Amino acid sequence: MAQPYTETTWVVKPGQEEEFVRRWRDWAEWTALQGLTASAKLLRDVEQPNRFLSFGPWESVDQVRRWRSAEGYQERIGRLQEVLDGFEPRTFELVAET
């Protein structure tokens, strides 16, 4: 099976961008202990500065499922949601690279 990646698009409440980044870092540090195979990345949209994208590679889709159902996941997502207008999490698999 191809290597899975999780990706999330985050839309932050205007004026809450710095707080979001702080909370995301806390969430990402916890997530790193749950099975990421490399550090997570957070990107900010240059044209729409309250829109962010994060992604990271995982060992398996099962590991992603365990992470999303792990004790503490919902609590940490809840802290992020306090500064969000919305978010869309997804799971992808690597199918090609150069």
Write the pLDDT tens digit of every residue in 56-65.
999 999 999 9
Cα-Cα-Cα-Cα dihedral of 63, 64, 69, 75, to 10°?
120
| pLDDT value of residue 90 | 97
- Which domains are present in the chain? 9-93 (3.30.70.100)
pLDDT tens, residue by residue, 10-47: 999 999 999 999 999 999 999 999 989 999 999 999 99
Instruction: List the one residue out of 63, 66, 42 whose CA is nearest residue 54.
Output: 42
Distance from C-alpha of 82 to C-alpha of 13, rounded to nearest angstrom: 9
pLDDT tens, residue by residue, 46-55: 999 999 999 9
| pLDDT value of residue 21 | 98
DSSP-derived 3-state class of residue 80: helix
> φ, ψ for residue 59 (rounded to 5)?
-70, -40
- Provide the pLDDT confidence category of residue 70 given band limits of 50, 70 and 90: very high
Count of CB atoms within 10 A of residue 20's CB?
21
